[in-house]
Amino acid sequence: MKNTDIISCEPMDDEEIFIVPFLEDFAYMKGNTIINSDLNPELKKIKCGIMLPRVNYNKKLNEVVIYSINNPQNIYLYKNGKVKVIPVGIDNHKNGPIAAINFKAENNTLYYRAKDGSIIAYNVITKISRKCNSNADLSEVIFVRDNIFITIANRKIVTIYVLENDYSFRKVRSIESLEDIYSVVIDKNHNLWIAQDQGGVLYYDQPLNKAFKSKKPVKFLEDCIINYILADQDNNIWFATRNNGLFFIAEAPFHRYVNMPLENNSSYITSIAANSKNIFLGYNITSGGLYHSGILTDLVFKKNKKIENKAVYANDMFAYFGQTDDVFEYDISKKKVRSLHVNTTIKNLIPYRRNKLLICASDGIKLYDPSLHTIKRIWNQRIYTALPYSSDSIFTGTFKDLYKLNIVTRKVKPFLNGYYFTDLKQLTDNLYLGASNSKGILLFNNKKIIAIIGEEQGLKDVQIKKVTVENKKTFWASTENGLIRIELTRGKPIIKTFTITDGLPSDNISGVVIKGDSIFVGTSKGMGILSIKRLLTQQKHINKKVIINSVSVDGKEYVDPFPNLTSEEVQNDLTFNLSFLDYASQGKINFKYKLEGLNNKWQTTNSSKVIFSTLPPGKYTFKVYGLGYNGKQSYAYTQIPFEIKPQFWQTIGFRILFIISILAVLLGAVTFYFRKKKR
């Protein structure tokens, strides 16, 4: 680039990027090469004078439109390395100075504001002018996208117009800002952003080209001055700020935040439970939360904020919060809290028949009867979890073994040894789930282990906190590295992992609650509410391919477009420099590759460089996928063929000649031997 002061860049469908510098030296980037007017003289046709030009990308025609805002002499259309020049042909002496508002390439119409303030639609081909309706005050147009025009008055009032029938401007609405407006942007989805002069940007979550209704905007980056907002092709949002750098929000977390702006929903959730109407949350402090009909209400139990909630259970009458040293009973109808005075470290709370409660604690397992307000100790072992499996018996787990305990007779039998279970759930009549602290998930009946779901079956995290049953064949596992959905089949289970890239507030999951199609997820950064259907129908692949930036062959580097890559060295050395622009993964990406012709087995690496050395002569094809943060891979692989040419002594001709020579020598020796013997 001759000029590094860049005003804007316009991405195009054919992976070109049109570059608009401050000085009049336009360029475009294709592959890894920047092409300016010295390399492509076509770009020298674009001349807009000393004023900054207006540059728009027309997606329908896949071309960039360039023109001067003040008294444009020409319209310039860039596409595929060519520039088309269309003379405007307006007589400025007759009509006075004009202010260009927009150029619509589909019908070759330039919209401009005349000297008398009227809006004129002027066809640059036919030279026919037509006056547009006078109801639109477009004297202060500051932003145009497609058929949407934005004006601003007194630095506070934004007015939105939509162009209809090519000659009629319809006013959509006016919005008055409480603060002075710094800038206004319409993103590619036709949503409105208003950046405020004192910091922050307001987002209106509804397309302007559809029926616009009054809706409270969502505010982002309150402490930053926003220069520009971009929604990229994956609907990730980028914020360019003044003196604060570049901010990025991936599409899924962005829509989660916009569609569920709950107040006080940022606490560290350590446990979650539900009854028929409400969701109950336990935090890493002595307080909790009650969620109902879109409202989250705080529940406070103690002043000591260092004591956290270990477990929560709720029925339609009471909610129980098991904390580090006590259990609190919350009367839902009376909204009153009382302590059970357990005075021990709580590990879990498990429902038992007739609204009773099993309290798993460091000094044993206890049975609480809410009707009598009594607590009875059942077993004096350190208990982490439990699960009733008959009218009088329960599974109960210590930090290393699982037992069968009869509550009536108090008899205990060892059942499964060597497993530290963090949670137990019933899947069917005689099939149970055990969440293990280090070995994944166990399926067992009341006699033996049926199956283990671990790393070999595709489980990415074998340290499970909680399991939640969706139906007889499907359940969810909560881990510190995401939320896992497991569907049992006759063969290998179907395992899907969901993370922040899918809309979760955090990857650290304490547990979930399922109500219909909604899944309520307790995380270290608040509660997420997501649609199960939407989670399961999200793209299975990342809509990008790996970019091979360069290939080094025997110390010489090549960039795209790559020539026919060959090496004639015996000690050959090839290095593939890769990148995978999945921004939602925030740098946590890997590459899956193989070298056909050498080994058809796929390998995985987190390095952006893949090196091969001393390959035998032959033809090869390097193929590579990109892997995102949540394990999703690029929709297709990227490939490059290359050839290692043999040395002269490695060629087939040389080998044939060598074999013939050996045979000739042997034949001569044999002939000599028999002649000598005959003599």
Model confidence pLDDT, tens digit, residues 173-222: 888 888 899 888 888 888 899 999 999 999 998 888 776 666 788 899 98
Contact 233, 215 (CB under 8 A): no
Task: Using the predicted structure, report yes or no on whether residue 650 has a pLDDT greater than 60.
Answer: no
Identify the band that residue 397 occupies on the pLDDT scale cut at 50, 70 and 90. Answer: very high
CB atoms within 10 A of CB 68: 20
Give the Cβ contact number of residue 10 at 10 Å: 19
Considering Cα of 556, then 557, then 563, then 567, what sign does the dihedral take? positive
Please give the average per-residue pLDDT across 270-287, as a whole number: 95
pLDDT in tens, 49-104: 766 788 888 888 999 999 988 888 899 999 999 999 999 988 765 666 788 888 98
The DSSP 8-state label assigned to residue 151 in this structure reads: E
The SS3 of residue 586 is coil
Q: CA torsion angle for 343, 348, 352, 354 (degrees, to 10)?
A: 60
Give residue 95's pLDDT: 63
Query: pLDDT per residue over 590-635, tens digit each?
Result: 999 999 998 889 999 999 999 998 888 889 999 999 998 878 899 9
Instruction: Indicate the helix (H) or strand (E) that contains 536.
Output: helix 532-536
Q: Residue 30: which pLDDT band, with cuts at 50, 70 and 90? A: confident
Mean pLDDT of the chain: 88
**Among 213, 260, 218, residue whose Cα is nearest residue 237:** 218
Q: What is the pLDDT of residues 326-369, one digit of tens each?
A: 999 999 999 999 999 998 999 999 999 888 999 999 999 999 99
Segment 264-290 shows an average pLDDT of 94
Query: pLDDT tens-digit profile of 470-479?
Result: 999 999 999 9
DSSP class of 41 = G
Cα 646 to Cα 416, 619, 652: the distances in Å are: 61, 11, 9
The answer to whether the beta carbons of residues 386 and 348 sit under 8 Å apart is yes
**What is the model's pLDDT at position 263?**
79
* CB 468, CB 602: distance < 8 Å: no
Where are any strands of DSSP class E within 516-654? 518-523, 526-531, 547-553, 556-559, 565-567, 573-579, 590-596, 599-605, 609-613, 618-627, 638-644
% of the chain with per-residue pLDDT over 70 = 95
Angstrom distance (rounded) from CA 523 to CA 534: 19
pLDDT for 652 equals: 67
pLDDT at 432: 97
| pLDDT tier, 521 (very low <50, low <70, confident <90, very high otherwise) | very high
Task: Output the pLDDT for position 57.
Answer: 86
Q: What is the pLDDT of residue 269?
A: 96
* Whether the Cβ atoms of residue 552 and residue 562 lie closer than 8 Å to each other: no
Give which of 599, 598, 592, 559 is closest to 575, Cα–Cα: 559
- The pLDDT, as a whole number, for residue 591 is 96
C-alpha distances in Å from residue 287, one per residue of 405, 434, 523, 645 = 33, 29, 16, 71
Q: What is the pLDDT of residues 251-268, one digit of tens each?
A: 888 888 887 778 788 899
Contact 499, 479 (CB under 8 A): no
**CB–CB of 320/357 below 8 Å?**
yes
| E strand or H helix at 662 | helix 652-678
Q: Are 225 and 235 in contact (CB under 8 A)?
A: no
pLDDT tens digits for range 238-252: 898 888 888 998 888
Helix (H) or strand (E) holding 257: helix 251-259
User: Which comes out higher in pLDDT, residue 469 or 324?
Assistant: 469
Tell me: the pLDDT tens digits for 132-156? 876 667 767 777 888 888 888 888 8
- Surface-to-core class of residue 116, CB atoms within 10 Å of its CB (0-12 exposed, 13-18 middle, 19+ buried): exposed
pLDDT of the residue at 651: 57
Residue 569 DSSP code? -
Measured between alpha carbons, how far is 145 from 184 in angstroms, rounded to an integer?
11
> pLDDT: is 205 or 305 the higher one?
205
Angle 413-417-420 from CA coordinates, rounded to 5°:
110
Q: What is d(CA 202, CA 183) in angstroms, rounded to the nearest whole number? A: 11
Q: What are phi and psi of 607, to 5 degrees?
A: -90, 145
DSSP string, 378-442: EE-S---EEEE-SSSEEEEE-SSEEEEEETTT--EEEEEES--EEEEEEEETTEEEEEESSS-EE
What separation in angstroms does the CA of 17 have from each of 231, 252, 513? 16, 26, 46
DSSP track, 164-189 = ETTTEEEEEEEEE-SS-EEEEEE-TT
